[in-house]
Amino acid sequence: MSNNNSKGFFHQALYESGKRIEPSQVVYNTYLNRNESVYELDDSIKKQIIDELGSYQWRNYPMPYYPDIEKLIAGYCGVLPEQVAVAAGSASIITTLINYFAANQRQIVIAQPSFSLYDFHCRTYNIRFDIWPLNQELEYDTSLMPGLKENSLVLFASPNNPVGNIISPEVLEKLLGSNPSSLFLLDEVYNEFSPVAYAPLANKYDNLVLLRSFSKVFSSAGLRAGYIISAPAITEQIRKLILPFSLNHFSVAFLKYVLNNKWAISMQAERNKQLIDERDRFYKELKEIEKGTNKIIAVKSYGNFVLIRFCNEQTFQAFKKKIDEAKIALLDVSNAPGIGQAYRVTIGHPPDNNKVLDILKMVLSTDL
């Protein structure tokens, strides 16, 4: 039986929001749309983790908190254990902090374009936020930062998804020093793909929270494990906001194994280096294609993806048609503010990346 008053239960913003990730009815041959690692975990590592998981008591809850894992993460990152708090994925930490600051009527500032979860979560929960826009070159510009109120929260990413840009440590340090009463949540889940290190600033400033993940570089997006690094006093309070028992047995077994295994860490580091080399090759090829036309702009990236912007509707639609026909899944980010018509391409194996390049060359050679 339908209740005509049911719409009153939820705010209009929720009804109007739609889905952040639309389900696809198409089965693709190649998936380069989710920024997942192109490498699967080695079978020998999987077997060791599964064997360890079999020794766990599945009828019991996992431990409510994870000081042993946080100690391992601290060793991996080169920080103190009391600076680390782990949770079931970095996204859960993002939404938790947004909700906390909103519930306490604090100002929330979100960089745009950036990770779509920030904007989507605020809109679906009817949370007011201010925008820190990137400049026309899609770079961070402190002159565009809105006025920050006391005890505000600023969310931004570096490397920034879907653009790939970074904020320099010097600019970040200036922001932290000149806004000591604002908390800066720096989403750096792609940090292993970037040469820039922000962890030293977390030792120096108590208004910086670094957000990281094991999803990308450790090929474990399906396990949902993320963490923060911040000053011990900040970490202690954020840990209280993270639900206890949030990591399942599988995630715990995985983290304990890989972080205790130097071979697993070094193997992932080598694969990460290979991916960076392939990303840079792909970008270089795109820039060569760009030189002969005024129809695309390839954006320099420090993540495991590259953004391709299209300068006209006709070229974008022609490329979209050919990519769909080839059953290659890329992420259309045209709805992101300030980007225009664009695709974000996750770096895959070289043959898959070359297919994208070949289709782009073909479209640009025939599109009038």
Sequence-distant (≥ 6) Cβ neighbours of residue 204 within 8 angstroms: 173
Distance of CA 306 to the CA centre of its chain: 13
- Domains of the chain, residue spans: 8-40+265-366, 52-261
Gap between the Cα atoms of 249 and 55, Å rounded: 10
CATH classification number, 52-261, choose in 3.30.390.30, 3.40.640.10, 2.130.10.10, 1.20.140.10: 3.40.640.10
Element (H, E) at 43: helix 43-54
Contact between 90 and 147 (Cβ < 8 Å): no
Look at the block and give the residue holding tokens 């490329």: 319
Q: What is the pTM of this model?
A: 0.91
**pLDDT above 60 for 104:** yes
pLDDT of residue 2: 53
Query: Per-residue pLDDT averaged across 86-112, rounded?
Result: 95
- Closest to 187 (Cα-Cα) out of 223, 212, 221, 224: 212
pLDDT of residue 13: 82
Superfamily of the domain at 8-40+265-366: Aspartate Aminotransferase, domain 1 (3.90.1150.10)
334-345 confidence digits (pLDDT tens):
999 999 999 999
107: its two tokens: 């100002």
* DSSP string for 295-362: SEEEEP-SSSEEEEEESSHHHHHHHHHHHHHTTEEEEE-TTSTTT-SEEEEE---HHHHHHHHHHHHH
Contact between 157 and 194 (Cβ < 8 Å): no
208-226 confidence digits (pLDDT tens):
999 999 888 887 777 888 9
- Closest to 340 (Cα-Cα) out of 296, 317, 309: 309
Confidence class of residue 358 from pLDDT cuts 50, 70 and 90?
A: very high
140: its two tokens: 């961070």
**pLDDT above 50 for 178:** yes
